[in-house]
């Protein structure tokens, strides 16, 4: 097939009946500043890790709200916690805490489930 520089995204469904909202609720409870994100993408633009690997900080919010925990877990591992995102954020969101909370709670749910 000829490469036109586009990719075709595979069809997929998110079943909201299967939605696991634990993680999202825990994050919002412990770090309420996360709620005010306006998805401007400043964090992604400045990210040190995104310079080295395909990593999008802004997508974390999306993955969290969709409850896609498996993908979230593998994405979040790429963060180097340098703190640039937090400094450029126009809403002053404490992103480093969001990331640490996700790491902690994903681990917690794993041990709970097993």
Partner 1 sequence: MEKTPFIWPFTIGLIFICSFLVIIIGIWISGLSRIDKSRISHSIFTRKSLIAIRETFMESLLHRKIFRKNPVLGYMHMSLAFGWFLLIVVGHIEACVHYKSMSVPAYKAIFYRYFVIEQASTTSGIVLAAVMDLLLVFILSGVMLAYYKRFNSRRFGMKKTTQLKTGDRIALISLWLIFPLRFLAEGVSAGIHHNGSIISQPVGNLLAAVLPVQSLEMPLWWAYSCSLTSFFLAMPVSRYMHITVEVVLIFLRNYGIRVQKRIDGFSRLQVFSCSRCGICLDSCQMTHAAIKDTQSVYVLKHIRNKNLTDEKLFNCLLCGRCQPDCPVGLELNNLRITQRIESTKEYNSSYEYLKHGKVAVSPQTEVIYFAGCMTHLTPAIIKSLKEIFAVADVKYWFMDEDKTACCGRPLMQVGQYEAAQKLIDHNRERILSSGAKKLVVSCPICYKVFKEDYAIPGISVQHHSEYLLELMADKRLPVNKMPLRVIYHDPCELGRGSGIYHQPRLLLDEYSELISIKNEKEKALCCGGSLANIKIQMNERNQIRDKAMEEYLSYKPDVLATACPLCKKTFSKGHNLPVHDIAEIVYMAIRQQKNDAKEEASTEKEVRKVEFWD
Output the smallest distance, CB 39 to partner 1, in A: 18
26, 33, 44, 66: residue in contact with partner 1 (rule CB under 8 A)? 33
CA distance 48 to 78: 10
Whole-angstrom Cα distance, residue 33 to residue 30? 9
Burial class (CB in 10 A: 0-12, 13-18, 19+), 113: exposed
107 belongs to the binding site for partner 1 (CB under 8 A): yes
Q: Is 46 in the site for partner 1 (CB under 8 A)?
A: yes
- What does the binding site for partner 1 look like in residue numbers (CB under 8 A)? 30, 33, 46, 48-49, 51-53, 77-84, 87-88, 92, 94, 96-97, 100, 103-104, 106-107
């Amino acid at each position: 097939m000829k490469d036109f520089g586009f990719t075709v995204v595979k069809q997929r469904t998110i079943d909201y009946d299967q939605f696991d909202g634990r993680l999202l609720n825990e994050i919002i409870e412990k770090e309420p500043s996360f709620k005010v994100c306006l998805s401007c993408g400043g964090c992604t633009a400045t990210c040190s890790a995104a310079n080295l690997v395909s990593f999008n900080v802004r997508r974390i919010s999306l993955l969290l709200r969709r409850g896609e925990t498996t993908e979230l877990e593998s994405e979040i591992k790429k963060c180097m916690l340098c703190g640039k995102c937090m400094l450029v954020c126009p809403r002053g969101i404490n992103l480093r805490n969001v990331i640490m909370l996700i790491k902690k709670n994903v681990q917690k749910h794993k041990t709970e489930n097993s």
